[in-house]
Amino acid sequence: MRVLWLSPWMRTLSRVHVETLQDAGHECLLVTSDQHYEKMEPLPYERVLDPRPKDPRTLGPLLRTVSEARKWRPNVVVVELVWDPRWLMLARLAPMVHLVHDDAPHDETELRPAWQRRLFSRFSNRATRVVAFSAYVAAQLPYPASVVPLTSDVREKDLPAEAAERHDFVLYGRMSPYKNVPVALRAWQRHLASGQHKGDRLILLGDGPLDVSEQDLPAHCEWRRRRYSYPEVLPILGRAKGSVVHYRQASQSGVQLLSMQLGVTPIVSDSGGLPEFQPPGEAGIGIDDVDGLAQAFADLSDSQAAKQRGAASRKHFEETYSAARVVDKLADVLAQAAR
C-alpha cells in the first residue's frame, strides 16, 4: 500500500507507525508539523507544514504538498488529530482512516474550540474506517471503531541501556488537573511518615498549571518544571522504581506505555488506568486513596521487587503494545479501507 499519514501534532508516534509500516513493505508519506515539543530534523518521508490557516504564507507549501501527494496516488489516507480544515484537501485523496485517541477531553484545559470539535466529527463521519487505541474508547464513541493497540512513540533503538540500580519515583508529563498530582503529593508525605521510605525521591518532570510552589512540596520531592525532550527523560524514568500515572480520568496514557517499555511499573488509579493496558497483577488504586497510593510506594521501595515487577511490565509491553505487534493489526485496517 501507499499510505498518506496526516499528523500535525503526534509526530513522534506517527514516525513509529510509519517506519514500522515501511519495515513491513508499505510505502508511506507523512505530512506533519513542528508543533510537537520534540524538535527534530525532517526525514525523507516527511513533509513539514505550518498548520495555521489564518497565515496566508502557509498556503503555498500546503498546495505544493497536496500536488505532490496527488501525483503519488495514495491508496489510503490516515488522519490523526488534524485541526486545519485546509488539510481536507489531503484527506480526500483516498479512502480515509480516522485515528481517535480519546473519546472526550480529560479536563477543562483540553477542551477544543467548537469549530475544531465540528471538524473532528466531520473527519469521523467521512472516514471509511475509524480506529480507537483501546476497547474502552471504542465503546464510548457514537460510531463503530476498530481497535488497534496503542504503541509507544519512542523507538526501541532509542531506549537507554537497562539501569543497573533502581531509585526514585517519577511523575512525568504536563501537570494538568486530571493528573491528580495533589493526591500523589499527600500519598508521598504519608509514605515518608510510614517508616518504609528508603531514601528515594519523588520527581515531577514537566510544566503545567499545577498550583504548587517549591515550598509546598513534601520532603524528598522535586518538581523540575519545564518541558523535557525524550533524551532527557528516558534515563531518569528508566531507572525509577515506579512511574506515577494515577489519573482522575480514563486515559490511553503514553506515559503508562513508555514506563512499561522501559521496564518500570506504572502506578495507576482504578479510574484513570485502563485495565487492558495494565500488566497482569497490577491493580488500580482509588483516585482519592492516599493510603493505597502510599502503600504502592512502599511496596516498590524494595529494589528487587521494583526490578521484578518492572520486568513483568516490560514483557507485557513487548507481547501486546510493541510496534512490531501492532503493525499487522494496523495494516489490516488500512487495507480494508483501501479496498
What integer is the mean pLDDT of 209-220? Answer: 86
Which residues, at least 6 apart from 240, have a Cβ–Cβ distance to it below 8 Å? Answer: 166, 167, 168, 169, 170, 203, 259, 264
pTM for the full predicted model = 0.90
What integer is the mean pLDDT of 26-42? Answer: 87
- 119: pLDDT strictly greater than 70: no
C-alpha cell at 308: 521484578
Burial 47-58, CB ≥16 within 10 A → b, else e: bbbbbeeeeeeb
Domains and CATH numbers, the chain: 2-151+323-338 (3.40.50.2000), 156-320 (3.40.50.2000)
The pLDDT tens digits for 65-81 are: 999 999 999 999 999 98
Alpha-carbon distance 93 to 257, whole Å? 33
pLDDT of amino acid 250: 79
Alpha-carbon distance 72 to 64, whole Å? 12
The pLDDT tens digits for 295-317 are: 999 999 999 999 999 999 999 99
The pLDDT tens digits for 228-259 are: 889 999 999 999 999 999 998 877 778 999 99
* 202-205 vs 2-6, strand pairing mode: unpaired
Q: Using 50, 70 and 90 to split pLDDT, how confident is the model at 115? A: low
Q: Using 50, 70 and 90 to split pLDDT, how confident is the model at 337? A: very high
pLDDT of amino acid 141: 87
Q: Using 50, 70 and 90 to split pLDDT, how confident is the model at 111? A: low
Residue 84, CB-side half-sphere exposure with 13 Å CA sphere:
23
Binning the chain into helix, strand and coil, the percentages to the nearest 5 are 40, 15, 40
Alpha-carbon distance 236 to 224, whole Å? 12
